[in-house]
């Protein structure tokens, strides 16, 4: 079953082009030219793409209403970054932000990230080198042997967080604060120790990690 | 009507009150002092015990002197017994006075003692009359008499010294001469004067304390600003000069508020205009880009594909240029608010670098980041600081492709920790489209200045190095 996307864009040229591109990528698109009726149209959608500048209700208002009605549905805003206040206002409820003129491939990539994060996309198991992981569940298996790898609570939280941001480089502060829920203190080795144990369980050669990559000077990343 | 209004104004003014105090101060000496003396005399007179009637004989010193010299003249060439007799007779009339006479040989012939108040000499009992008078006694008596306490009237017998018949003296007690005043009146007079002085000092002090308090209140209202950055309106006070100043201050605050509101409205309009412009410029670019993407899926010659890629890149550059142009417009108006907070800029730098890392990686850049060490806290606006980093990283991507290197460090220079962002490209001057970088760097300059940060950029053929540090006061 394909993913249904609510797309609100007042410009017909852009709307036509983006809708066509998304349909080619096997998304079902519900395109509206204004925010009116967006709440009803969002029923059954897994993702919403909203333009900020809309006739009548603006994208922020529509987005806030959608978020209240469908808190689990990710929202991607399309607009200019010129007014940074708008960006902050937009990100209060929106999950991501893309500035025009965007490349269709970039839009598709962002959508995939959002869908994966919300657990809508990729319901199928995902191959990561020699591992099979099922996003949204705690199951991590060795592909060859089918042996399940048991992770501790914290190890699983760290690995899940990295998987939710697949391909993104995350700083130590971001990971620590997302997993432990408290401020990261510079020099704290807790995260490093947990990553080391995690690698011992996940990597074929923990000394040359392939799953959890260290980005020197910044943090860690799991490549997609 | 106009005159009455002016009087009303004058009456309410501080000047009037101050003049009132000054007039009071000026009147204090020439009016209050005589007034108090008059009152003193009145109350002193009331408090004075009425003198007995027989004291009337002594009320006029001149008359007494005339009488005494007349009597002395009549006694010229009289035998001592007659003189004594006559003086004794006189002493019956002037029995409150002491009368004595001394003959030509210096012998005291008669001394009558006063029947009333005693003779006092400076509060002490008067000396006894010596029986024999020599030069020493005469001088001593003269010295006592100069004080006129008691009053002494001296006449030569025969009223001439040449007669050589001696002299006769009448001494009148001081109390008979001056009467007796109520005791303690002097003290009350002093207290009254002191009260006048205290009233004057206290009223002057209260006057200036009141002025000072109101001025301080006004000063406090001017110094402490509310959440809008404007002073608070002061409650209206008395309609005097300070009251009018308060009124003028309140008017100024109200006008400032209105002006701020107008500015905010203008800023909103400006933002809306920029946002509309941005939208109107970006929409066709988005459409073109979408169609380029569609075209790219068609079978095209390598040259056609290359043209499409070039157009795509230029559209992206144009998007960035529009972004920077409109941002610069907003920022240069100076009315965009930056929320400066103490933030660890190394953390912000790491997060920005993390977001850019995949892009650099894709382009084949070698990325060297060393931001280890203690956090570096500067007062920055989180979003706008990220924007500065984005602009600098964007420049590296666009203008330093030849070096394929990004270095992000922190080190100590001239005793301060600085942030360094470097590349090994050909330098901005050699870049094909460095004009676009200029606008991005202008935004960097504007933002860093607003965040009270300094920066420098050194661009050579071997690369560009941007250094950012905190401005020292």
Averages of pLDDT over runs of 10 residues in chain A (224 residues) are 88 90 93 92 94 83 91 86 54 81 89 82 73 77 87 90 87 93 86 94 92 93 84
Give the mean pLDDT of chain B.
Answer: 82
Is B387 touching A (CB cutoff 8 A)? Answer: yes
**B161 pLDDT more than 90:** no
Report residue B148's pLDDT band, with 50, 70 and 90 as the boundaries: low
Q: Could you check whether the bond before residue A203 is cis, i.e. omega within 30 degrees of 0? A: no
What pLDDT sits at residue B398? Answer: 84
Pairing state between β A75-79 and A96-99: parallel
Listed by number, the residues of chain B in 247-286 with a beta carbon closer than 8 Å to a beta carbon of chain A are: 271, 274-276, 278-279, 282-283, 285-286
- With a pLDDT cut of 90, the percent of chain B lying above it is 19
**B430 pLDDT more than 60:** no
SS3 A156: helix
| Residue A28 CB-half CA count within 13 A | 9
Top pLDDT among A194 and B265 is at A194
Question: Inter-chain contact B350–A88, Cβ cutoff 8 Å?
Answer: no
**B434 pLDDT more than 50:** no
B355: closest chain A residue by CA: A169
Selection from A131, A132, A101, A126 nearest residue A18 by Cα: A101
Is A92 touching B (CB cutoff 8 A)? Answer: no
Q: Which tokens go with B93?
A: 């009339």
What pLDDT sits at residue A32? Answer: 94
Q: Does domain A4-118 have CATH number 3.40.50.2300?
A: yes
Environment class of B345 (CB within 10 Å of its CB; exposed 0-12, middle 13-18, buried 19+): buried
* Helical ranges in A34-135 per DSSP H: 38-41, 59-69, 84-93, 104-118
Topology adopted by domain B339-470: Heat Shock Protein 90 (3.30.565)
What pLDDT sits at residue B146? Answer: 67
Top pLDDT among B431 and B378 is at B378
What pLDDT sits at residue A124? Answer: 64
SS3 B251: helix
What pLDDT sits at residue B342? Answer: 93
Which residues face A142 on adjacent strands?
A131
Dihedrals phi, psi of B2, to nearest 5 degrees = -65, -40
**Could you tell me how many CB contacts below 8 A there are between chain A and chain B?**
124
Give the range among A107-116, A177-186, B46-55, B162-171 with minimum mean pLDDT: B46-55
**B469 pLDDT more than 90:** yes
How many residues make up chain B in this entry? 473
What pLDDT sits at residue A196? Answer: 95
Which residues face A28 on adjacent strands?
A4
Question: Over the stretch B312-361, which tens digit does the pLDDT of each residue have?
Answer: 888 988 888 888 888 887 787 776 778 899 999 999 999 999 989 988 99
Rounded Cα distance between B369 and B109, Å, is 135
Q: Could you check whether the bond before residue B78 is cis, i.e. omega within 30 degrees of 0? A: no
Rounded Cα distance between A138 and A149, Å, is 10
How large is the C-alpha radius of gyration of chain B? 55
What pLDDT sits at residue B376? Answer: 93
Question: Inter-chain contact B290–A171, Cβ cutoff 8 Å?
Answer: no
Question: Inter-chain contact A82–B326, Cβ cutoff 8 Å?
Answer: yes
CA of A58 to nearest chain B CA: how many angstroms apart?
13
Topology adopted by domain A126-222: Arc Repressor Mutant, subunit A (1.10.10)
What pLDDT sits at residue B209? Answer: 87
CATH code: domain B224-337 is: 1.10.287
Top pLDDT among B456 and B282 is at B456
Out of B286, B371, B387, the one facing A14 most closely (by C-beta) is: B286
Listed by number, the residues of chain B in 38-97 with a beta carbon closer than 8 Å to a beta carbon of chain A are: none
Residues of chain A with CATH 1.10.10.10: 126-222
Give the range among B12-16, B326-330, B416-420 with minimum mean pLDDT: B12-16
Q: Are B248 and B218 in contact (CB under 8 A)?
A: no
Q: Are A18 and A9 in contact (CB under 8 A)?
A: yes
Give the range among A105-109, B192-196, B205-209, B361-365 with minimum mean pLDDT: B192-196
SS3 B160: coil
Rounded Cα distance between A204 and A212, Å, is 11
Top pLDDT among B21 and B248 is at B248
Annotated domain spans of chain B = 2-48+183-218, 65-178, 224-337, 339-470
B338: closest chain A residue by CA: A85
Give the range among B300-309, B346-355, B424-433 with minimum mean pLDDT: B424-433
Dihedrals phi, psi of B88, to nearest 5 degrees = -65, -40
Mean pLDDT, residues B298-320: 87
Rounded (10°) angle between helices B2-12 and B14-27 = 70
Is A56 touching B (CB cutoff 8 A)? Answer: no
**B47 pLDDT more than 70:** no
Question: Inter-chain contact B290–A82, Cβ cutoff 8 Å?
Answer: no
């Amino acid at each position: 079953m394909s993913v249904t996307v609510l797309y609100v864009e007042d410009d017909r040229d852009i709307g036509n082009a983006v809708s066509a591109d998304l349909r080619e990528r096997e998304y079902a698109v519900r395109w509206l030219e204004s925010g009116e009726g967006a709440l009803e149209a969002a029923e059954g959608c897994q993702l919403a793409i909203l333009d900020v500048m809309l006739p009548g209700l603006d994208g922020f208002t529509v987005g806030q209403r959608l978020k209240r009605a469908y808190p689990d549905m990710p929202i991607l805003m399309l607009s200019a970054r010129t007014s940074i206040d708008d960006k902050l206002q937009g990100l209060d409820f929106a999950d991501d932000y893309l500035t025009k003129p965007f490349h269709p491939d970039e839009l598709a990539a962002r959508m995939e990230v959002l869908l994966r994060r919300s657990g809508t996309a990729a319901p199928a198991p995902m191959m990561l080198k020699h591992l099979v992981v099922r996003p949204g569940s705690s199951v991590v298996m060795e592909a060859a042997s089918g042996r399940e790898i048991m992770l501790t609570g914290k190890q699983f939280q760290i690995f899940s967080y990295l998987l939710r941001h697949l391909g993104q480089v995350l700083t130590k502060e971001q990971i620590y604060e997302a997993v432990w829920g408290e401020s990261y203190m510079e020099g704290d080795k807790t995260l490093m120790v947990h990553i080391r144990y995690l690698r011992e369980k996940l990597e074929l050669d923990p000394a040359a990690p392939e799953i959890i990559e260290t980005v020197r000077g910044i943090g860690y990343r799991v490549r997609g | 009507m106009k005159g009455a209004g002016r009087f009303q104004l004058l009456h309410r003014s501080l000047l009037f009150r101050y003049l009132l105090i000054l007039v009071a101060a000026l009147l204090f000496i020439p009016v209050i002092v005589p007034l108090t003396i008059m009152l003193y005399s009145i109350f002193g007179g009331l408090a004075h015990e009425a003198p007995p009637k027989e004291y009337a004989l002594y009320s006029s010193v001149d008359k007494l002197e005339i009488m005494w010299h007349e009597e002395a003249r009549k006694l010229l060439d009289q035998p001592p017994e007659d003189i004594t007799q006559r003086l004794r007779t006189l002493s019956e009339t002037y029995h409150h006075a002491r009368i004595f006479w001394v003959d030509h040989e210096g012998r005291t012939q008669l001394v009558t003692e006063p029947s009333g108040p005693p003779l006092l000499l400076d509060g002490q009992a008067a000396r006894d009359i010596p029986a024999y008078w020599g030069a020493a006694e005469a001088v001593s008596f003269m010295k006592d008499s100069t004080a006129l306490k008691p009053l002494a009237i001296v006449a030569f017998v025969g009223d001439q010294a040449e007669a050589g018949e001696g002299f006769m003296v009448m001494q009148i007690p001081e109390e008979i001469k001056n009467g007796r005043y109520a005791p303690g009146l002097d003290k009350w007079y002093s207290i009254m004067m002191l009260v006048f002085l205290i009233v004057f000092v206290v009223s002057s002090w209260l006057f200036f304390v009141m002025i000072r308090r109101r001025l301080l209140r006004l000063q406090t209202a001017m110094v402490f600003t509310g959440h809008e950055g404007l002073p608070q309106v002061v409650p209206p006070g008395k309609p005097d000069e300070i009251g009018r100043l308060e009124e003028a201050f309140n008017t100024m605050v109200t006008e400032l508020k209105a002006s701020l509101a107008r500015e905010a409205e203008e800023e909103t309009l400006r933002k809306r205009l920029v946002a509309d412009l941005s939208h109107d410029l970006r929409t066709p670019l988005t459409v073109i880009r979408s169609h380029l993407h569609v075209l790219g899926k068609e079978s095209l010659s390598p040259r056609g594909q290359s043209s499409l890629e070039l157009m795509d890149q230029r559209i992206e550059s144009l998007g960035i240029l529009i972004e920077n142009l409109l941002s610069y417009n907003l920022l240069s108006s100076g009315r965009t608010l930056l929320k400066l907070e103490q933030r660890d800029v190394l953390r912000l730098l790491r997060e920005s670098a993390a977001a850019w890392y995949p892009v650099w990686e894709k382009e084949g850049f070698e990325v060297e980041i060393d931001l280890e060490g203690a956090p570096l806290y500067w007062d920055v606006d989180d979003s706008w600081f990220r924007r500065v980093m984005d602009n600098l990283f964007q420049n590296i991507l666009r203008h330093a492709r030849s070096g394929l290197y990004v270095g992000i460090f922190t080190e100590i220079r001239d005793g301060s920790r600085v942030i360094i962002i470097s590349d090994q490209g050909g330098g901005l001057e050699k870049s094909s489209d460095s004009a676009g970088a200029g606008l991005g760097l202008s935004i960097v300059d504007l933002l860093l200045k607003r965040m009270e940060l300094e920066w420098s950029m050194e661009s050579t053929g071997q690369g560009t190095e941007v250094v950012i540090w905190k401005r020292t006061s």
